[in-house]
Structure 1
């Protein structure tokens, strides 16, 4: 098939590259010339494992090209995927649909024959119906320009697998023809027996925000339990392990710590709550406000732990902050808890030195007042306290003895429950983590 992908950010570039590798003729479209030039020259403008190699393969095959021309896109494509961003509005919790609306408005006048426009962006429910009306009004093909919705479920760091081998596909359609077109587009995926849910436009729009809201709730639930554990002296890590044995609950994403960030979960749950209020059913998802609050409190509590371990004041102290990206295997710093904590510590008077394996350049541009280093050990040199803020494997594998050789004081705050407390404590470190007692139970017994 001949596919166009409108928007070549994280979602769009990944989708375009993978669909070309799967055998389709693909044209990536963006108004950002620099982005198009980078991709056309074989450079992925963000960090995603495995994607640069696939970009090279797709370009070499001749099945992938990039352009800034919507006229070319309209002439070329049988199916047009809308993959632009829907960030949070600057002055509201609502989603900003400027880019989605612009993509449809600019593309539609060039749709002169029957074509399918497929939204993949995360949007408030009801958006697809409105865009379908815009398409019919603006496209020369009229009713021949049809809209469908196919939400994305990419996890940063696993985007290639999630595109090539997803755990499910959702098709929101209004005709059998649209479903057939989508099945043709995803034929290489469907050949792997990936389950497909065919539904209406509204349900397809809701699937992504409902999934993200459920995930955010599970993450925040165990972090709420961490607050209880901190007040009672219980151990949230042991609590999470005990809960995970219940197959109704399961252990995935039941890891306590600093909480979630990035460009999806925070803004999606806020936009979902905002849209529910617009629809008059805000009470149904009112719990999402508290989910957001729990997540924000984890950042403040991490700062509190650092202050506590430093004797009540971080002014003049040197803090090594390990991590800047919102999660490992990503260079995405949008709403990153790590950088929020680093900035709060700096505002409290600490000298904060940040290291991240992939997100240093992005962090340096966004937070120039922080200091940066080229390795974890270099960041920790002379540190009064080390704070683990993003759970990269590189940080998990650091030997406590190696870190001890460069710091001023052996104090560490594990914001992600990524380290072995016993190993660090046995090496002479004072170890603290959210929701965990200052002294482990066996150590308490030994002291008696």
Structure 2
């Protein structure tokens, strides 16, 4: 049986390690955070992801999953090592690979035999080749040998476990037949499931991840710009998206208008691929436009709120209830969430802000230190709405559908509802109780304008 090591216990590493352990592999996950590792060994997940804690408990009970802070232990006990550490964006948009190189240096230091080193983190084109060259040089003069592979993840947060158990595809970039065969063993379950596999070179594999996320970001920015136009010409963006999605060449996926994309992937990956293009003399105009459109979308959402609620040109004295902080439902991830910038702008324009999110508040309290003292955290959506002039729905958590609308509106000071996810466009009860403003439709709160 192949022994697997995972360096990094974030969303990618933890889910990947837990799933592989459920297939019977002996998996050791490593992280430098002692408190996190202590809790993981108790079966307590540091992140909210449906189905993850069940896998953790299963792996710990069966003895197929363990956690350590020792890089030496995980390197020397593993045949295949997955690098799954963060690659955050630098201020200039380029990917910060400092965590990656710390791991690579530890591998070179503690290696004790043949290993396959697999890049699971999203890394700029050329990184796998650089890792291979570094390890080849550091092991020269020894009998040890390594092969390097790129194996990008395609997980959707909130569905990461199910996506790992039944992936849409598996992409592996390697120049070694031995590494290819070993990874076929690791992914034997997916081969049996007839999951599509693509074997390619390092650079193509790395590019596929960036290209996929950038294309989806472009699609979101495109529909968001059409939503802004729809509000001015009298069209309904949901009908437009439905009509477009009927075309098999387009598909309905990622055609939902909203406040802009966020999360741990799209913002940093679009910036990173633009940086790679710039460094190689190719400006990526389409991706750059998607980034600019996303920034515009968030600003437009704030302007919409201000237009409806402002008094004497300011939001001073207005109380706004924000429902949802996570960038999408079924996750606690608040990285690059549109809610952050929208809350920041509302505060700067004089509004008081109350917030509620089923899963995102714990991390918001920890990470949004510059905002936390200026916003009020609430224990429910109903409490959040009390004495508010307006509700701004930022994340489409399913529990919001069963809210007691009459009770909620009677505790509010106003009755304005900004539905940034178009969650209630077909709900007549919500429209009965609220002055309702969705994204991309003029029929609820926006006067029609004659086409010029």
TM-score (norm 2): 0.94
1:135–1:142 CA contact under 8 A, matched in 2: no
Cα distance in 2 for partners of 1:352, 1:295 equals 23
Matches within 5 A, 1:375-414: 375-414=380-419
Gaps of at least 5 residues in structure 2 are none
Distance 1:426 1:292, change over 3 A: closer
What corresponds to 1:97 in structure 2? 97
What corresponds to 2:307 in structure 1? 308
Partner of residue 436 from structure 2, selected from 415, 431, 434 = 431
1:135–1:146 CA contact under 8 A, matched in 2: no
Offset at residue 112 of structure 1 (A): 2.5
What corresponds to 1:253 in structure 2? 254
SS at match of 1:49: coil
Matches within 5 A, 1:175-324: 175-282=176-283, 285-312=284-311, 313-324=314-325
Cα distance in 2 for partners of 1:425, 1:325 equals 23
2:425–2:438 CA contact under 8 A, matched in 1: no
Deviates more, 1:234-243 or 1:39-48: 234-243
Offset at residue 41 of structure 1 (A): 1.3
2:274–2:288 CA contact under 8 A, matched in 1: yes
What corresponds to 1:139 in structure 2? 139
1:343–1:370 CA contact under 8 A, matched in 2: no
Cα distance in 1 for partners of 2:352, 2:426 equals 25
Offset at residue 118 of structure 1 (A): 0.5
1:322–1:388 CA contact under 8 A, matched in 2: yes
Deviates more, 1:193-202 or 1:232-241: 232-241
Deviates more, 1:49-58 or 1:406-415: 406-415
Offset at residue 104 of structure 1 (A): 0.6
Deviations 1:289-348 (A, max 9, x none): 110111111111111121122145321111110011111111111111012212211111
Cα distance in 2 for partners of 1:358, 1:138 equals 44
Cα distance in 1 for partners of 2:208, 2:152 equals 7
Cα distance in 2 for partners of 1:320, 1:266 equals 26
CA RMSD of aligned residues (A): 1.8
What corresponds to 2:79 in structure 1? 78
1:46–1:331 CA contact under 8 A, matched in 2: yes
SS at match of 1:326: coil
2:321–2:390 CA contact under 8 A, matched in 1: yes
Cα distance in 1 for partners of 2:219, 2:234 equals 22
Gaps of at least 5 residues in structure 1 are none
Matches within 5 A, 1:42-191: 42-89=43-90, 91-139=91-139, 144-191=145-192
Offset at residue 142 of structure 1 (A): 6.1
Offset at residue 439 of structure 1 (A): 3.3
Distance 1:295 1:397, change over 3 A: farther
Cα distance in 2 for partners of 1:68, 1:94 equals 28
Deviates more, 1:209-218 or 1:311-320: 311-320
Cα distance in 1 for partners of 2:321, 2:175 equals 54
SS at match of 1:42: coil
Cα distance in 1 for partners of 2:430, 2:65 equals 53
Distance 1:258 1:177, change over 3 A: same
Distance 1:13 1:139, change over 3 A: farther
What corresponds to 2:20 in structure 1? 19
TM-score (norm 1): 0.95
1:400–1:427 CA contact under 8 A, matched in 2: no
SS at match of 2:199: strand
Offset at residue 250 of structure 1 (A): 1.5
Q: Please list every run of at least 4 consecutive aligned residues from structure 1 whose deviation after the TM superposition is greater than 4 angstroms.
A: 140-143
What corresponds to 1:336 in structure 2? 337
Offset at residue 246 of structure 1 (A): 1.7
